[in-house]
Amino acid sequence: MLSDRDELVLDGGLRVPRPDALLIGGEWRRSSSRDGTPIVSPATEEVVAEVAMSSPEDADAAVAAAADAFRGEWPRWPVARRVAVCGEFCARLEQRLDEIGAVWAVEAGIPLRWSRTLHRYAAKAAWSTALAVAEQALAAETRTTPVGEVRIEHEPIGPVLAVMPYNGPLATIGSKVVPALLAGASVVVKAAPESALMMRLVSACAIEAGFPSGVLSILPGGVEVSRHLVRDPRFEMISFTGGPRTASDILRESADRLPRTVFELGGKSPAVLREDVDLEQALRSLVAGAMSGSGQICAALSRLIVPRTRHDEIVEAVARAYRSLAIGDPRWPNTDHGPLANRQALERTQRYVATARAEGATPACGGRRPEAFAAGYYYEPTLLVDVAPSDTVAQEEVFGPVTVVLPYDDEEQALAIANGTDYGLAASVYSADRERGLALARRIRAGSVALNTFGPTMSAPFGGVKRSGWGRECGPEGIREFSDTKQILLG
């Protein structure tokens, strides 16, 4: 049983507040679950801490607080006043980015190098843009119609459930939670168990920022709590980042009451290399786009679609780049490639590679656990050749460090391969001819396409098509997702 403690001290002197408590309704509350849940290091497979996870009783308290807050003053505050409080929250997060990244490395195995990049160019970019555009995005306007002037206003949607993944919780705070708060919603965050430590640092920043009572709750927890929250009729909106199967479960569980949903789901993102590609230049972003976070990013470039005439050259160059990545403890400053976040992720990756081999694939590099590590959920950066576009590993999201190479003979075939999955989240096109590259990018069915780099940017609307979800996060469009648009006809 967990005792009352103000803070937990990890190896290296990292301090985590309130291992026994959760942010519920804007304040620390002792979790109703008295037993501690072990936090297992993905790098060593050792228990590094025990903390309270949320229970259904905690969830009920958070939802009740969110419902009360939405009946209070927060939705009626001027947008500028909400921007000020959210800005204070984000400023405090920025002050603790290094600390948050270090804790995340301990509990989720994310290398410090990647967390610094993700937090600067995704999380900070997302919330900075949202803060800058909120007043304009939510401003009322008057239009002239044949029956008189009509005023268009954006009203807060209501209490929001934000279900977050383990692979980028701080980025999701920027893309999902801050925009909802700016729109005037009250928010209950259901965080992944793999971010239970870092989300306590986030919770401390929220308390220091001074949100009104009930406006924000953060509940790390498992599937039971997620299902309990999804069924709660007090939520007007569910914003979820994760896999299509869980999104389908959410739709079934909430179908009777028809809440609004925004789903940012999986991807099988292609990188199309045109025959004129400058390979050395392309590798600078392509390798990071495929292997950052050990491939545990939804927009990972997991399919390389390459001209057959340059196939061997490209495979050799990418394999060489993958082999050069430094595999190591995620807490080491020079580590490029850390472990997967949990045992299930490692076993899933192993199953996909085994299936790929059975279907005829050959590893150009990787395809195994590194011999240098006796423990930890490590898996080598893996490049698979002799893969057909219809093979399992070319169609389904691995969510691990596995890239497939798919050759093409002409641009139409490249386009058919790029669009030939159920996903449509992100893509990249690499070409020395900007106009031809742009023309190809326009024909790829994806919510975002990057030209000669890896994306997306979190300062602009981001989301998917097909089984990669619907709705948009980030930018002014991402704020408006959390509002109802009302017309007032002026007689």
Query: What distance in Å separates the CA atoms of residue 367 and residue 369, rounded to the nearest whole number?
Result: 7
Residues 194, 264, 380, 481: which is the catalytic one? 264
Whether the ω angle into residue 270 lies within 30 degrees of 0, i.e. cis, is: no
Convert 80-109 to b/e letters by CB count within 10 Å (16 or more is b): eebbebbbbbbebbbebbeebbbbbbbbbb
Residue 236: burial class (beta carbons within 10 Å; 0-12, 13-18, 19+): buried
Residues 90, 298, 365, 474: which is the catalytic one? 298
Query: What distance in Å separates the CA atoms of residue 346 and residue 290, rounded to the nearest whole number?
Result: 17
Query: What distance in Å separates the CA atoms of residue 379 and residue 120, rounded to the nearest whole number?
Result: 26
What does DSSP say about strands 148-156 and 187-191: parallel, antiparallel, or unpaired?
unpaired
Tokens of 222: 């498992």
User: DSSP alpha helices (H): ranges in 257-405?
Assistant: 279-291, 311-323, 343-358, 392-395
Contact 167, 116 (CB under 8 A): no
Question: In the annotation, is 298 catalytic?
Answer: yes
Query: What distance in Å separates the CA atoms of residue 122 and residue 456, rounded to the nearest whole number?
Result: 9
Q: Is 327 helix (H, G, I), strand (E, B) or coil?
A: strand
Q: Cα dihedral sign for 353, 378, 123, 66?
A: positive
Query: What distance in Å separates the CA atoms of residue 447 and residue 445, rounded to the nearest whole number?
Result: 7
Query: What distance in Å separates the CA atoms of residue 364 and residue 281, rounded to the nearest whole number?
Result: 21
CA angle 56, 189, 54 (to 5 degrees): 30
CA angle 420, 261, 100 (to 5 degrees): 90
Contact 454, 286 (CB under 8 A): yes
Catalytic annotation, residues: 264, 298
